[in-house]
Structure 1
Amino acid sequence: MDALEEVLALLKLPHRGSATPLEAEAFRRLRALLEERGLAPAAIPFRGVPSYGWELLFIGLLLALTPFSPLFPLLGALGFFLYFHGIRPWAFLLDRFPSQNLLAWKGEGERALVLMAHVDTAKTYFLYHPGRVRGFRRAFLVNAGLAFLAPFLAFTALAWPLGLYFLLQAALLLHRELSAPYVEGGNDNGSGVAVATALFLEAEPPPGWRLGLALTGCEEVGALGAKALLPHLPTGALVLNLDNVGRGELFYAEGEGMLLFFPYRGPLLEAAGKTPGARPVRYRLAYFDTLPLTQRGFSCLTLVRLEGGLPPDWHWPTDTFARLDEGALEGTLVYARSLLEKVFRES
């Protein structure tokens, strides 16, 4: 069994929902694998949430109160902007559930390159249905626009229809939290964990470099694992993130952001532009673990595979290990290997 197959076999659980016991079991298995290979991964514990739905539900309820006072939609619009900008000032109230990252290193040197992939899986939602998911970005932009208009519409005839719209959104989120299952997550992100781990196990950094492997938790609920990882990354570390790389055409993201756009910069992006096998994309659909790192000045790059502009089976129960494309996994590994070699050689 090669490394890709071995890692995928370890991750075949019913799900690996953020901050759940099955996420913890996946980390236990991954840590045991790395220790069997003679490595000493460090666990980085932190507190997270099992789902993002309750936060968006509360924001929706504030917006639903638009007919009663402009103060409520003002707070709702602010909460909407902060959440999708990666800022959660209310986190101390909600982040009560144990999660973790694993961080392992190879080599010695002042320069560092980190391979990153998130372990957790998300709950599904009606917007991810194959018949609706192509409109996901459009629905997000409509909600953003209405949220930011809501404070100005509080005393107009549109206040009640707008309030009812956001009340319906809150009801749908409540239904999600009470009944929606976590997905198995073969592509999102068993594929990324497998490729990142396999590459880390095979690669040897040249003199002057350290190579890291960062496996994160709670990416699906606000990139909380990446935020917890920040104090443990060396200054100036390069970060190559792998997410949803098990099917579709390979892309390298030039940046990301659901509201504001944060471009990537640095040697990894430059190397990707010189390496055949992947096309560039400005990723606006959602966020990756690289978002909080990029916001804080780290040089990042994310590899992702898309079909029609979307990750295949994105957050839907069809995202199973059985639907992974072995050729896509191998192709991503080959491309990521070429990127590392180019960066080590030219930087």
Structure 2
Amino acid sequence: METLKAVLNLLMLPHRGSATALEAEAFRRLEAFLRAQGVEAQPLPFRGVRSYGPELLGLSLLLALAPLSPLFPLLGALGFYLYFTGRRPWGRLLDRFPSQNFLAWKGDGEKALVLLAHVDTAKTFFLYHPRRVRAFRAHFLLNASLAFLSPLLALTPLKWPLGLYFLVQAGLLGHRELKAPYVEGGNDNASGVAVATALFLETTPPKGWRLGLALTGCEEVGALGAKALVPHLPPGALVLNLDNVGRGELFYVEGEGMLRYYPYRGALLEAARKTPGARPLRYRLAYFDALPLAQRGFPTLTLIRLEGGVPPDWHCGTRTPVKAGSSRIL
């Protein structure tokens, strides 16, 4: 419990926005804390973006050009599919800002279990307001349907309302980039970092096993930290991802995917399914750091807490990860 409180206090910054100076400050604090516990965390630098807004804005503008030519919405629909299945072929052009992961190990066995949690926080948006957030999935599916139909709709008179719809959306995304603040991220994901760190420090791996702690940056902008982490993990490592575990009902995630669904596999999932009272979840609301790992064949499991089907205080600004004390975390 003391470790949980200590890590939560370390992360009480105005925000930890992806690839920002305050994300870097959070990693500096975590590094100093781990070193004080006798743990040397290996920094793994990479480059990312500070917000997903410009990419979605660009896709919205392509779709908004439907009245001019079907080619533009065709490109927009392709980009939409690629982005929301975890592919960013344009990433090398946009990933300009420094971010990092931390990776620490204890034990020396051939088998490995990695505790994974992301450090960064996101900008807010009007869709994350508590009165609207339960419609987040429905809004996404509407966008996806219109995006994929747009090359055909561009050949009909409906191209004009379609173009206007995505033009308004581009304007809202532009306003978000200019005006929306980053959130403090108590639940998402100081809670996961605190739990992962406490479990790592307080667990002695059994003979034949290594225990890893992987803290990532840039999760909120496309799980970029998890993608950069892949080459540093031993093949076949079990990965337990902790995200939004501060408040609500606890679920284990069987698989995820906003468009295409990717089922998890492996020993952690099988163990969760055999645990009495454990509640399964097929997560389609957004994505986790676990997604690029599952796509690359790692045996993966995510734990999350939900209230009313959504993470509490999801990207809407809260400093405290729990309402009634840290005893609510896991």
CA distance in 2, matches of 1:32, 1:5: 16
C-alpha contact (below 8 Å) 1:12/1:321 kept by paired residues: no
1:55 matched residue in structure 2: 55
CA deviation after TM superposition for structure 1 residue 153, in Å: 1.1
Alpha carbons 1:186, 1:324 under 8 Å: kept: no
Deviations 1:236-263 (A, max 9, x none): 0000000000000000000000000000
Q: Give the deviation of 1:276 after TM superposition.
A: 3.4
Alignment match, 2:152: 152
Alpha-carbon deviations, 1:113-149, whole Å to 9, x = none?
Answer: 0000000000000000111111000000000000000
- Residue type matched to 1:48 in 2? G
Contact 1:240/1:268 (<8 A) preserved: yes
Cα displacement (A) at 1:155? 1.9
- Cα-to-partner distance string for 1:195-251 (whole Å, 9 max, x where unaligned): 000000000111110000000000000000000000000000000000000000000
Q: Which residue of 2 aligns with 1:42?
A: 42
Q: What residue number does 1:131 align with? A: 131
Mapped partners of 1:322, 1:300: distance in 2: 26
List per-residue Cα deviations over 1:19-53 (Å, max 9, x = no partner). 00000000001111111111111000000011000
Shift in Å, 1:275: 2.1
Question: SS at the partner of 1:115?
Answer: strand
1:316 aligns with 2:307: no
Is residue 119 of structure 1 aligned with residue 119 of structure 2? Answer: yes
Distance 2:292 2:319 in 1: 26
User: 1:207 and 2:210 equivalent?
Assistant: no
Q: Assess, with a 3 A threshold, how the Cα gap between structure 1 residues 324 and 173 changes in structure 2: closer, same or farther.
A: farther
Closer, same or farther: CA 318–11 of 1 in aligned 2, 3 Å: closer
Task: Output the amino acid matched with 2:121.
Answer: T
Residue ranges of structure 1 left out of the alignment (5+ in a row): 333-347
1:109 Cα deviation (Å)?
Answer: 1.1
Match of 1:304 in 2: 304
| Matching residue's letter, 1:161 | P
**Conserved 8 A contact 1:186-1:323:** no
- Secondary structure of the 1:221 match is coil
Is the 2:117–2:241 contact (alpha carbons within 8 Å) kept by the matching residues of 1? yes
| TM-score w.r.t. length of structure 2 | 0.98
Q: Are residues 204 and 305 of structure 1, via their aligned partners in 2, closer, same or farther at CA, if it must alter by over 3 Å?
A: same
Alignment RMSD: 1.1
Q: 1:321: Cα distance to partner?
A: 4.3
Alignment partner, residue 167 of structure 1: 167
Q: Which moved more, 1:269-278 or 1:318-327?
A: 318-327
In structure 2, the partner of 1:94 is 94
Correspondence 1:286 to 2:280: no
Equivalent-residue separation in structure 2 for 1:268 and 1:100 (angstroms):
26
Task: Quote the offset at 1:295 in angstroms.
Answer: 0.3
State the distance in 1 between where 2:286 and 2:25 align: 27
Percent of residue pairs bearing the same amino acid type: 75
Deviation of the 1:324 alpha carbon: 6.6
Higher percent of residues as helix: 1
The Cα of 1:284 is off from its aligned counterpart by 0.3
Kindly provide the amino acid, as one letter, of the partner of residue 65 in structure 2. Answer: L
Give ranges in structure 2 of 5+ residues lacking alignment: none
Q: How does 1:245-256 map to 2 (within 5 A)?
A: 245-256=245-256
Structure 1 stretch displaced more, 239-248 or 150-159: 150-159
Alignment partners' CA distance in 2, 1:150 and 1:138: 18
Structure 2 equivalent of residue 342 of structure 1 = none
- For the 8 Å contact 2:247–2:321, the answer to whether it is kept is no
- 1:187-202 map, 5 Å: 187-202=187-202
- Counterpart code for 1:221: V
Q: For 1:259-281, what per-residue CA distance to the aligned partner results, in whole angstroms no more than 9, with x for missing partners?
A: 00000111000111122353100
Q: In 1, are the aligned partners of 2:254 and 2:263 still within 8 Å (CA)?
A: yes
What residue is the counterpart of 1:142 in the other structure?
Answer: 142
**TM-score, scaled relative to structure 1:** 0.93
Deviation digits for residues 62-102 of structure 1 (CA, Å, limit 9, x no counterpart): 00000110100000000000000000011111100000000
Helix, strand or coil for the counterpart of 1:172?
helix
Q: Is the 8 A contact 1:250 1:303 kept in 2?
A: yes
Task: State the SS of the aligned residue for 2:66.
Answer: coil
Distance 2:146 2:36 in 1: 53
C-alpha contact (below 8 Å) 1:18/1:220 kept by paired residues? yes
Distance 1:76 1:125 in 2: 22
SS in 2 for 1:150: helix
The 2-side partners of 1:324 and 1:112 are apart by 34
